[in-house]
Amino acid sequence: MQRTPSSYPIVTLKSGRDKSVRGRHPRLFSGSIKSIDGRPKDGDVVDVCANSGEWLARGIINQQAQIAVRLLTWDEHERIDEAFWYKRVAQAVERRARDPLLAGVNARRLIFGESDGLPGVIVDDYAGCLVLQISTLAALQAKSVLLDALVQLIAPYCVLERSDDERLKYERVTPSRGLLYGELPSGPVEIVEHGLRFKVDPQGGQKTGFYLDQRDNRARVARYCAGAEVLNVFSYTAAFGVYAAARGARSVVNVDSSQEALRLAELNMALQPPSACATCYELADAFDFLRTCYGQGRQYDVVILDPPKFAHSPAQIERAARAYKDLNRVGFSATRAGGILATFSCSGVIDAALFQKIVFSAAIESGRDAQVVERLTQASDHPVLLSFPESEYLKGLICRVL
């Protein structure tokens, strides 16, 4: 078969290594590449062809990275230029504007990387304060265009950059941070989520300042909290605790190892209308706190475990699985019979099936039986692209402990 003429350098795949590209997976790994013609520089647009010469896709190359090409289009007639990037941003913004599940909130994820056709681009909107997170060379090349598009489409009062240092090191790119547009907020930004108020620190908080992906899960877990004694572990800004108190929890204990997080948690609890819920804050390592609960026989009606990512790569799965099992084992022990354990993993390399097996093993080791009453995932502004199952990273289980 004749190779399709191209104005771009050409990446030719090894025989039999074109299945993922035909399936529109947005990542092409270096091990699939047979040859590169045209001497592209890192950051250049390239065409990807099958071993036969058939044109397959177009993307941006980074020969220093294991993910050698970030695929952007499977339309041979679509050019990757400024208009391309603007259009992709506009499409993502429009999808959020039409999402009925985002009614009643003024904080949302506007762009979710590959799921929105923009690999390495994360944009969170906190009531007009945008946080841009870049994690690929492809996104870095387009940063000025992305910024212009966001300013025109959203009219924010500021745009902050908080690049993903962990991921950018694999791209061999130097991360950058700082104000890109407008004026820095003088302090925490206030957002509203389903009638509840929160202070968010876009400059110094974890990730981009708030865990927007747990929005729906906070409301679902809170339904079990009326009249309950609630333990909120890895509480961070106490968002789960705020929801629990709003649904009539008798008491909430927020546990975190960061004094600054607990300060913000206390502020967030105080922002809500007065309630009879007794709230306290424990500065402690989560594992140590739960082991102390076990040793003292202390139990709660609802236990919420929302830890940070334990595994960043497949090589870390075994170690992370042990940590999740240990955490859930003591979590089960801290839950009263008939109570609820809400447990989560945001490690993308640990899928939902494996996570359930880990939680099952933890229940066995704790000597408890449990029923899965709900399975949880990320909010709708963090959509899962069917051709990119890796975009489904958050999984949760609501278990009734017997």
Q: Domain with 152 in it: what CATH number? A: 3.30.750.80
Whether residues 176 and 284 share a domain: the answer is no
* Stretch 370-390: mean pLDDT: 97
Residue at which a domain ends, from 182, 201, 233: 182
**CATH code for the domain in which residue 372 is found:** 3.40.50.150
Q: Which two tokens stand for residue 177?
A: 């941070």
What is the pLDDT, as a whole number, of residue 292? 95
Is residue 312 situated within a structural domain? yes
Residue at which a domain ends, from 182, 202, 220: 182
Its domain, for residue 60, covers 10-73
Is residue 222 situated within a structural domain? yes
Residue with more model confidence, 184 or 376: 376
User: How far is the C-alpha of 117 from the C-alpha of 111, rounded, in Å?
Assistant: 9
Is residue 380 situated within a structural domain? yes
Is pLDDT of 269 > 90? yes
**SS3 call for 151:** helix
User: How far is the C-alpha of 380 from the C-alpha of 181, rounded, in Å?
Assistant: 27
User: How far is the C-alpha of 72 from the C-alpha of 80, rounded, in Å?
Assistant: 8
Whether residues 243 and 357 share a domain: the answer is yes
Whether residues 22 and 124 share a domain: the answer is no
Residue with more model confidence, 173 or 195: 195
Whether residues 260 and 395 share a domain: the answer is yes
What is the pLDDT, as a whole number, of residue 6? 66
* Stretch 330-357: mean pLDDT: 97
**CATH code for the domain in which residue 44 is found:** 2.30.130.10
Whether residues 124 and 90 share a domain: the answer is yes
Is residue 220 situated within a structural domain? yes
Whether residues 65 and 88 share a domain: the answer is no
Give residue 9's identity as a one-letter amino acid code. P
Is residue 261 situated within a structural domain? yes
Whether residues 67 and 87 share a domain: the answer is no
What is the pLDDT, as a whole number, of residue 176? 79
Name the pairing type of β-strands 158-162 and 129-134. Answer: parallel
User: For 178-229, what is each residue's pLDDT tens digit?
Assistant: 999 999 998 899 999 999 999 999 988 777 889 999 999 999 999 999 999 9
Pick the closest to residue 244 from 211, 220, 214 (CA basis). 220
Whether residues 389 and 285 share a domain: the answer is yes
Mean pLDDT of the chain: 94
CB atoms within 10 A of CB 96: 19
What is the pLDDT, as a whole number, of residue 395? 97
What is the pLDDT, as a whole number, of residue 209? 86
Is residue 218 situated within a structural domain? yes
Is pLDDT of 2 > 50? no
Whether residues 57 and 93 share a domain: the answer is no
Pick the closest to residue 377 from 401, 346, 399 (CA basis). 346
What is the pLDDT, as a whole number, of residue 267? 94
Is residue 24 situated within a structural domain? yes
Return the percentage of the chain with pLDDT > 90, whole number: 90
Whether residues 342 and 291 share a domain: the answer is yes
Is residue 205 situated within a structural domain? no
Neighbour-count burial of 282, counting CB atoms closer than 10 A to its CB (0-12 exposed, 13-18 middle, 19+ buried): middle
What is the pLDDT, as a whole number, of residue 5? 55
* Stretch 154-171: mean pLDDT: 86
Is pLDDT of 4 > 70? no
Is pLDDT of 1 > 60? no
User: How far is the C-alpha of 293 from the C-alpha of 133, rounded, in Å?
Assistant: 38
Residue 269 phi, psi (nearest 5): -65, -35
Residue at which a domain ends, from 55, 73, 91: 73
Q: Considering its fold, how many domains does the chain have in total?
A: 3
Q: Which two tokens stand for residue 96?
A: 């959020």
Whether residues 256 and 275 share a domain: the answer is yes
Whether residues 232 and 346 share a domain: the answer is yes
Catalytic residues: 346
User: For 98-129, what is each residue's pLDDT tens digit?
Assistant: 999 999 899 999 999 999 999 999 999 999 99
Find where tokens 């993993």 sit: 345
